[in-house]
């Protein structure tokens, strides 16, 4: 059982306290694109434009337009970012830069394949909203580049000496699982299926290690565990996020056994990642308990907790597994007690281990208009389904029927 009021809590915070915050503070009406470095009250503290976040904001506005309501201001906001990105975002190979200055001049080269991933997502979602082929072409071309780059995603920027200890990262197969569902309306069905099969295999059979009960951030090319800083690293939030991506694929495949496996992994990751002393989920942990390289390892990040809650609620909606109920309550409490800002809306991003604020800004180089609205939307819709089912069951079991 979940509380009925959860539905409106998530819906209202999204529509009343998050979307307006970004509409009001984020749009650069002078040069186009978005400001994402926003202080607690929304005032802009830096005007650089990080392509991950520019793309994600286009995606979010378009997604809301497609799935919540066809509000013109949302579509206009998406188009404004898309226009800026089309004018300034790509190098002459068609890869997306990492960052631009306020006017759109490139600052950092196209070193991150994830810029391409988020661009493909953004333009595919915008195509859904507009049916303008200009956008679907950009999404498709970008996806082709991703497939070309994916075996050596860092290209010339890779610092790894080849041959000694080649490893592969979890982020890319994980993102591909989500990306392919996002842009499937633009791809051949056989390509969609093959990328999904490969992605799910990588996540569930290669990076997930049943003996350890964790998903690793990096493994050897043959899938084995590497006993190094990179190889011992777990990012529980990443693993949890991937589990709801795979649940979405399982729903498409009507594969209930896969959903059950995801649910078990979600429970394992929460056990592994949860801070028994202060609550919240650690940002990083080492599988042997050694100090991770990342000095921020014990911090509590907004996206980790939101993605975790989606995974738990989605698992609960699909399986009804009551072991998840305690985690729904625990994560809901943690988020509303720590990340929500009743005064200015949006959410805080970064807490210290004990839950105190590390910084009170609402956006920056990595936090934009993406995880919060996506999670609130997902949670609103999932909670709605769960509550409907609960009411149906209650109805069914009423003695006077």
Residues that bind its own copies in the complex, under the rule CB under 8 A: 37, 39, 45-46, 48, 97-98, 101, 105-109, 111, 156-157, 159-161, 164-165, 227-229, 288, 290-291, 293, 295-296, 298-299, 350, 352-353, 358-359, 361, 364-365
User: Which C-beta is closer to its own copies: that of 290 or that of 392?
Assistant: 290
d(CA 313, CA 335): 14
Please report, in angstroms and rounded to a whole number, the separation of the first and last CA atoms in the chain. Answer: 22
d(CA 11, CA 26): 21
d(CA 390, CA 360): 38
Q: How far is CA 361 from CA 57, 119, 250, 342, 373, in A?
A: 17, 25, 37, 14, 17
Least spacing, CB of residue 96 vs its own copies, in Å:
12
Least spacing, CB of residue 232 vs its own copies, in Å:
8
User: Which C-beta is closer to its own copies: that of 14 or that of 301?
Assistant: 301
Question: Of how many residues is the chain composed?
Answer: 401
User: Which C-beta is closer to its own copies: that of 202 or that of 298?
Assistant: 298
d(CA 280, CA 305): 7
What is the token pair recorded at 266?
Answer: 């979600």
Number of neighbouring beta carbons within 10 Å of residue 329: 14
User: Which C-beta is closer to its own copies: that of 291 or that of 320?
Assistant: 291
- Residues 214-242 as b or e (16 or more Cβ within 10 Å = b): bbbbbbeeeeeebeeebbbbbbbbbbbbb
d(CA 270, CA 137): 40
Least spacing, CB of residue 187 vs its own copies, in Å:
30
User: Which C-beta is closer to its own copies: that of 13 or that of 302?
Assistant: 302
User: Which C-beta is closer to its own copies: that of 41 or that of 296?
Assistant: 296
Least spacing, CB of residue 296 vs its own copies, in Å:
4
> If you write DSSP's letter for every residue of 82-140 in order, what string do you get?
HHHHHHHSB-TTSPBPSEE-TTS-EEE-S--HHHHHHHHHHHHHHHHHH--HHHHHHHH
β-bridge partners, 100: 49, 106
User: Which C-beta is closer to its own copies: that of 39 or that of 319?
Assistant: 39
Least spacing, CB of residue 30 vs its own copies, in Å:
16
User: Which C-beta is closer to its own copies: that of 128 or that of 232?
Assistant: 232
CB 30 within 8 A of CB 346: no
User: Which C-beta is closer to its own copies: that of 110 or that of 267?
Assistant: 110
Q: Which of 247, 256, 368 minimizes the C-alpha distance to 303?
A: 368
Radius of gyration of the chain measured on its C-alpha atoms: 21
CB 133 within 8 A of CB 74: no
Least spacing, CB of residue 238 vs its own copies, in Å:
16
- Residues 96-107 as b or e (16 or more Cβ within 10 Å = b): bbbbbebebebe
Least spacing, CB of residue 325 vs its own copies, in Å:
32
Phi-psi map region of 167: left, alpha, beta (phi>0 left; psi -120 to 50 alpha): beta
Least spacing, CB of residue 184 vs its own copies, in Å:
32
Least spacing, CB of residue 111 vs its own copies, in Å:
5
Number of neighbouring beta carbons within 10 Å of residue 401: 6
Least spacing, CB of residue 227 vs its own copies, in Å:
8
Least spacing, CB of residue 216 vs its own copies, in Å:
16
User: Which C-beta is closer to its own copies: that of 55 or that of 177?
Assistant: 55
User: Which C-beta is closer to its own copies: that of 111 or that of 251?
Assistant: 111
């Amino acid at each position: 059982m979940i509380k009925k009021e959860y539905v409106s809590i998530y819906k209202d915070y999204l529509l009343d306290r998050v979307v307006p915050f970004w509409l009001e503070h984020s749009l650069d009406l002078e040069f186009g694109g978005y400001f994402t470095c926003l202080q607690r009250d929304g005032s802009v503290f830096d005007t650089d434009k990080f392509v991950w976040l520019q793309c994600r904001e286009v995606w979010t506005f378009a997604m809301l337009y497609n799935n919540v309501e066809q509000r013109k201001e949302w579509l206009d906001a998406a188009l404004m970012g898309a226009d800026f990105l089309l004018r300034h975002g790509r190098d002459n190979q068609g890869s997306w830069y990492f960052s631009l200055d306020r006017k759109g001049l490139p600052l950092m080269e196209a070193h991150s394949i994830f810029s391409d991933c988020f661009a493909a997502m953004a333009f595919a979602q915008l195509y859904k909203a507009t049916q303008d082929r200009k956008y679907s072409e950009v999404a498709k071309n970008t996806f082709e580049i991703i497939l070309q780059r994916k075996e050596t995603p860092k290209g010339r920027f890779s610092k790894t000496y080849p041959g000694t200890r080649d490893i592969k990262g979890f982020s890319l197969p994980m993102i591909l699982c989500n990306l392919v569902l996002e842009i499937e309306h633009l791809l051949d069905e056989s390509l969609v299926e093959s990328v999904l099969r490969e992605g799910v295999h990588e996540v569930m059979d290669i990076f997930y290690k049943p003996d350890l009960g964790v998903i690793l951030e990096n493994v050897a090319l043959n899938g084995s565990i590497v006993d190094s800083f990179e190889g011992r690293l777990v990012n529980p939030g990443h693993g949890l996020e991937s589990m709801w991506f795979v649940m979405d694929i399982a729903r498409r495949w009507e594969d209930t056994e896969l959903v059950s496996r995801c649910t078990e992994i979600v429970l394992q990751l929460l056990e592994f990642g949860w801070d028994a002393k202060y609550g919240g989920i650690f940002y990083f942990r080492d599988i042997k308990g050694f100090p991770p390289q990342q000095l921020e390892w014990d911090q509590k990040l907004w996206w980790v907790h939101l993605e975790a809650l989606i995974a738990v609620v989605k698992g609960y909606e699909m399986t009804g597994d009551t072991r998840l109920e305690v985690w729904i309550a625990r994560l809901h409490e943690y988020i509303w007690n720590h990340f929500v800002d009743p005064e200015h809306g949006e959410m805080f991003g970064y807490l210290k281990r004990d839950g105190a604020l590390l910084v009170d800004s609402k956006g920056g180089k990595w936090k934009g208009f993406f995880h919060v609205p996506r999670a609130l939307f997902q949670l609103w819709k999932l909670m709605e389904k769960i509550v409907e089912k609960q009411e149906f069951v209650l109805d069914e079991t009423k003695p006077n029927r």
